[in-house]
Amino acid sequence: MASFFSAFAARHESRLKELRYSWFLFRHNLLAMAGLLLVIFVALVGLFAPLIAPQDPSYATVGGHRVEVWQPNYAEQFESPSAEHWFGTEFFGIDLFSMVVYGARTSFMIGAFVVFPAMLIGVVLGAFAGYFGRGIGETIMRITDIFLSIPALVLAMAIAAVLGRSIVNIMYALIITWWPWYTRIVYGQVLSLREKQFVEAARSVGAGPLRIIFRHITMNSLSPVIVQATSDFGYVVLTAAGLSFIGLGAPVGTAEWGLMINEGAKYMPNYWWSSVFPGVAILVTVLAFNLLGDGLRDILDPRLRR
């Protein structure tokens, strides 16, 4: 086993040194580290929501018994923040802290199931468009331009309105909205790399187009994609919350931050906590991913490395 790790380290010594140096630079970027810690914190809150939240937000508690949320618990309706209810309660008497905690799980699920499929679609289409150029490339990029010509939020609203109100439909709407950005990024990267010497060397030894695209060109084009995906995670959470806020996203009864703000806004300013705490959760999540994305950009872009 020791010999295996020694051989692996010898083969990848330069890459390991690069990773260590990148981590060194990242650790000394205070804002990037703050973003990383916040992302980890929010992710852990969502992952362990059942252990953290004192109440299942799918139910309210009346007289020590659990009842469905559409049966309001008027005895605990709109209680202000206290030792018993840290963030207070909302219209149905549900503990708002529990809803915010479960909302972290919902938001991360939406972010992950939107960003990664959109990135995969965009990378594949952008790589083919950049490598093959005319014909296939022009067709892909003209379709991409059509999607990019429509404001992202307007397109997402239209798709969500057609598909109907649900978490899954939010994901579909945002995937359709988000993939063109990755296509455009990868397309530009591939255009700048396809005539490089290492690509010509791969062709000269008989490597096929797919191997060249995905093994040589795409792997050297992922840095800006990773940075974009990290920042997009926060924007996807924000956009999904916006769709829920205007009634095109999560259905009523879902622990989702945008929906919670919508419900709480009806009772502002008297019961301010109903909207303020979900809003702060969105703010912290978006800020965390933006800080992390900026830090990764500084590390992965050779022109910005210090």
The torsion angle over the Cα atoms of residues 9, 12, 16 and 17, rounded to 10 degrees, is 100
Selected from 3.40.50.2000, 3.10.20.30, 1.10.3720.10, 3.40.640.10, the CATH number assigned to the domain covering 44-66+83-300 reads: 1.10.3720.10
CA distance 222 to 61: 49
Question: What average pLDDT is seen over the chain?
Answer: 82
pLDDT digits over 31-65, tens only?
Answer: 889 989 999 999 999 889 888 888 777 654 445 54
Per this entry, what is the length of the chain?
306
Q: Which residue has the tokens 């799980």?
A: 105
β-strand partners of 95: 89
Q: Which residue has the tokens 């899954």?
A: 168
Of 17-26, 201-210, 212-221, 271-280, give the range with the top mean pLDDT.
271-280
Query: Which range is least confidently modeled, 21-30, 136-145, 177-186?
Result: 21-30
Band of residue 14 on the pLDDT scale cut at 50, 70, 90: low
Q: Report pLDDT for 32.
A: 85
Instruction: Report, as an integer, the average pLDDT of 233-243.
Output: 92
Query: Which range is least confidently modeled, 102-106, 228-232, 270-274?
Result: 270-274
